[in-house]
Amino acid sequence: MPKRFTDTELWNEDWFLEMPMEYKLFWSYIRSICNHAGILRPNKKLFESSIGKSINLKKFLSLMNEEKERIIVLENGRWFITGFILFQYGKTLNTGSKMHQSIVNLLEKNLVPYKTTSYGFEVKARVKDKDKDKEKVIKGSSIIDSGENQKLAVSLMPQFESEFWKPYDKKVHKPECYKKWLKLSIADKQKVKDHVPEYVKSQPDKQYRKNPKTYLNQGSWNDEIIERNNQTGKLFNTHKPGGSNSAKKFIENIKENSFFGKAD
């Protein structure tokens, strides 16, 4: 049996005390039979047969809404108790909750104008726990542990191998490297992807290339790459953090380091 909170201060409210007894009972009645979104179709005949007295719905609505709008009549003829959701669920409906989402669905279905009129609550979208775990792994804010996180981490292995492990081509400490790579932000993963081919080109001999774990721990994707011109022995920059060199700078490097020799 569904259970709901009861307003223990109701019998101290002047507006409530001043209503005839049958209307006090009707107010309690509609708050009991409404659905979990505070929406109902009032059954006047059933109520009157239950208490043995007649009521006037227009008079009831006038009494209820005299000081503030407590009930609105919807386009489909149903009633919406404006303070019901705030009282029962608080200021926020979270669509990550199945219960709260079902309330939002009922509001939408019955065309309750909750988006344009303030009824004391707001609807917020929330990432489900399963999606939060996935987001943490992708953004690198969690490590491989167990359960869903581990499954999600394993699913990213092909990206790790194609963007870092294979291009880096120094096969040591792979598990540690994978954990470290998972912790990188999406932006840093992209920087690593762009930087590694240039770095490997500048260090073709693996024995002088940093271990991949060291590369990741030191954030080496942010380092400038310095190459030595095989003809002149001069050092020059071929890659700067944050993006590739422009065509103009590339040509200037070629001229400066005399790739084509000097004109006669």
Handedness of CA 149, 152, 154, 158 (dihedral sign): negative
Q: Provide the token pair at 182.
A: 């998972």
Residues 45 and 113 in one domain: yes
Task: Report the C-alpha gap between 172 and 201 in whole angstroms.
Answer: 19
Domain membership of residue 25 as a residue range: 10-124
185 lies in some domain = yes
Q: Provide the token pair at 1.
A: 């049996």
Q: State pTM to two decimals.
A: 0.49
2 lies in some domain = no
The tally of domains found in the chain comes to 3
Among the candidates 124, 148, 176, a domain finishes at 124
**Residue 261 has what DSSP assignment?**
-
CB 177 within 8 A of CB 213: yes
Task: Report the C-alpha gap between 169 and 148 in whole angstroms.
Answer: 30
Q: Provide the token pair at 163.
A: 């963007």
Among the candidates 124, 154, 173, a domain finishes at 124
Residues 31 and 21 in one domain: yes
Q: Provide the token pair at 236.
A: 């020059």
Task: Report the C-alpha gap between 25 and 70 in whole angstroms.
Answer: 16
pLDDT in tens, the chain (264 residues): 578 899 999 999 999 999 999 999 999 999 999 999 999 999 999 999 999 999 999 999 999 999 899 999 999 999 999 999 999 999 999 988 999 999 999 999 999 998 888 888 989 886 555 555 444 444 443 444 445 566 666 788 899 999 999 999 999 999 999 989 998 998 999 999 999 999 999 999 998 899 999 999 999 999 988 765 555 555 555 555 554 444 445 455 555 554 444 444
